[in-house]
């Protein structure tokens, strides 16, 4: 035997993509007590077999580390499976969305809320936003609210507006917008969190057990596509307890780093500071399955809804520079508090102007206490300037990107910011060339959680409807794309010594694929299927 300890499981005769520092390929891996024991050639690895060792012949199949999605709303994904799916496909028009709402009303109790998500006006036949009147026609008595795919806009019917107290006299909340027609009547369209929260704050509160069930549902779906770890960006206290509930009942088959959502409600910076002071955890508190990372904050919107805070106006809206949800002085107070409390922070900043604001806050807090090595995050980070890149490198800031946005949302981006800007959006080649750690994610349910589409999109950079290549000079290699969804994801949460690659001593989270993702035709990457998912060396999904 190769060592004193025998393996519980040996997977041999395969293509083992280790994702180690040298991107080495091995033939076999030995697992013991939920961790990687040995990686190497068949002969050396099989020498770790003992009388109780289970051996599996991979017959040439590809095995790699479990996927890490570094920005995904796992509970929302679980809940969204019970809501109306307004994506195109399956729903190609406002008429079809209305029919889906009509059907859901038939299935619901009088007065029950109807929730849906996923529409994108650019992909609808009518090429416009849905309105309250579209929804009133099919749901005059049940309140309806449908989130846009980006989750930064939503449309409400009249019953929902009435429940929220939104009228023609309502003023825009700071950082948000209540859309009105030429006569001053609300159209039902609400933009950004401060406006959306007028609705979301009055939705019925779901029981902790129901939220835990959503977690359990999401775990099964994620394991099926090879996801074994997530960074859950922004939870309410109740949602955080739901994860604890699932963990205590041994229902977690996904490793979760959770973040507290700073502006899930419209609250002042001072009120948020009090909440942060009441949280006694620091980054890394917890165990291998359930850990606390820190604070999530949104400061702007997105390109699709034209709410990202940009340096130059939108292509088809020359006076619109987007929305800044959190003012710089308030942001500074919050970032300083996070720094002082020993927490991590992940800030949603899509537009270039938003990146400027966030990186200025990071630079200032660094003078109070160094954040180098803390891995403060910027999420989305569409259009960095040269100055932004230098600040990111100096402070050790990390980037969490969503390559799949280029595919799923790229057509609306093209319309709203034009080819030149979208070609520079999500500059993955630049991040790698500059040595800046960048991780991959889906931001599900904003876009589907299938990581193989994201990995393919980082390589191909093509849009969904127009099938147009945008920013070919920002393509990355397949090996780099895999790093975004494995070892770089572990780096985001200071866990690169525990997971993210197939190396001795690391957690035995591995997946077996139906194809060689490094050599298959490029367009087939997105069609990759997972045959088996192992967590701690035990099967949590098998096709």
Tens digit of pLDDT for each residue in 391-448? 999 999 999 999 999 999 999 999 999 999 999 999 999 999 999 999 999 999 999 9
Question: Can you give the pLDDT at residue 465?
Answer: 87
Give the Cα separation of 139 and 156 in Å (integer): 11
Task: Read off the pTM.
Answer: 0.95
Give the Cα separation of 152 and 352 in Å (integer): 17
How confident is the model over 469-528, as pLDDT tens digits?
Answer: 999 999 999 999 999 999 999 999 999 999 999 999 999 999 999 999 999 999 999 999
Whether the Cβ atoms of residue 361 and residue 333 lie closer than 8 Å to each other: no
How confident is the model over 16-29, as pLDDT tens digits?
Answer: 999 999 999 999 99
Task: Return the CATH architecture of domain 80-200.
Answer: Roll (3.10)
Instruction: State the Cα angle at 539 between 534 and 540, rounded to 5°.
Output: 90
Tokens linked to 120:
């994108």
Give the residue-averaged pLDDT of 222-239: 96
Q: Burial-class residue 513 by CB neighbours within 10 Å (0-12, 13-18, 19+).
A: buried
DSSP letter (8 states) at residue 111: T
What residues does each domain of the chain span? 80-200
Give the Cα separation of 377 and 296 in Å (integer): 9
Tell me: pLDDT of 265 over 70: no
The chain-wide mean pLDDT, for the chain, equals: 96
DSSP 3-state assignment of 122? helix
Tokens linked to 4:
């004193």
Give the Cα separation of 501 and 43 in Å (integer): 21
């Amino acid at each position: 035997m190769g060592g004193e300890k025998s393996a519980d499981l040996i997977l041999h005769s395969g293509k083992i993509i280790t994702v180690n520092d040298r991107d080495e390929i091995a033939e076999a891996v030995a697992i013991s007590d939920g961790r990687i024991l040995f990686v190497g050639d068949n002969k050396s690895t099989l020498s770790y077999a003992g009388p109780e060792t289970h051996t599996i012949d991979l017959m040439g199949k590809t095995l790699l580390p479990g996927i890490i999605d570094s920005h995904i709303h796992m509970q929302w994904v679980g809940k969204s499976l019970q809501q109306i799916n307004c994506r195109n496909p399956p729903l190609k028009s406002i008429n079809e969305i209305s029919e889906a709402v009509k059907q859901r009303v038939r299935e619901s109790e009088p007065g029950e809320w109807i929730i849906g998500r996923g529409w994108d006006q650019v992909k609808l036949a009518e090429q416009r936003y849905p309105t309250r009147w579209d929804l009133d026609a099919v749901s005059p008595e049940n309140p309806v609210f449908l989130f846009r795919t980006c989750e930064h806009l939503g449309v409400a019917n009249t019953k929902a507006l009435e429940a929220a107290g939104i009228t023609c006299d309502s003023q825009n909340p700071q950082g948000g917008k209540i859309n009105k027609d030429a006569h001053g009547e609300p159209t039902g369209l609400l933009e950004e969190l401060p406006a959306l929260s007028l609705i979301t704050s009055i939705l019925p509160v779901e029981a902790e057990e129901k939220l835990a069930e959503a977690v359990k549902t999401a775990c099964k779906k994620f394991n099926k596509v090879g996801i074994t770890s997530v960074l859950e960006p922004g939870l309410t206290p109740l949602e955080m307890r739901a994860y604890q509930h699932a963990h205590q009942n041994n229902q977690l088959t996904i490793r979760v780093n959770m973040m507290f959502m700073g502006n899930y409600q419209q609250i002042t910076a001072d009120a948020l500071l009090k909440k942060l002071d009441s949280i006694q955890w620091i980054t890394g508190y917890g165990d291998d399955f359930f850990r606390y990372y820190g604070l999530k904050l949104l400061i702007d919107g997105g390109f699709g809804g034209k709410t990202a805070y940009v340096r130059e106006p939108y292509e088809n809206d020359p006076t619109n520079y987007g929305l800044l949800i959190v003012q710089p002085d308030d942001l500074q107070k919050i970032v300083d508090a996070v720094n002082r409390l020993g927490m991590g922070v992940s800030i949603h900043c899509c537009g270039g102007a938003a990146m400027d604001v966030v990186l200025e806050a990071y630079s200032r807090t660094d003078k109070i206490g160094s954040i180098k090595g803390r891995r403060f995050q910027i999420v989305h980070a569409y259009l960095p300037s040269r100055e932004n890149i230098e600040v990111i490198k100096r402070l050790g800031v990390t980037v969490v990107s969503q390559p799949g946005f280029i595919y799923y949302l790229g057509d609306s981006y093209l319309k709203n910011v034009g080819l030149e800007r979208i070609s520079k959006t999500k500059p993955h080649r630049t991040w790698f060339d500059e040595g800046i750690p960048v991780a991959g994610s889906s931001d599900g349910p904003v876009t589907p959680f299938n990581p193989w589409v994201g990995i393919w999109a980082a390589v191909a950079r093509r849009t969904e409807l127009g099938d147009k290549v945008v920013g070919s000079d920002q393509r990355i290699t397949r090996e780099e794309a895999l790093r975004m969804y494995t070892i770089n994801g572990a780096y985001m949460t200071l866990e690169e010594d525990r997971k993210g690659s197939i190396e001795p001593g690391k957690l035995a989270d591995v997946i077996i694929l139906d194809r060689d993702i490094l050599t298959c035709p490029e367009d087939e990457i997105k069609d990759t299927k997972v045959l088996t998912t192992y967590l701690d060396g035990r099967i949590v999904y098998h096709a």
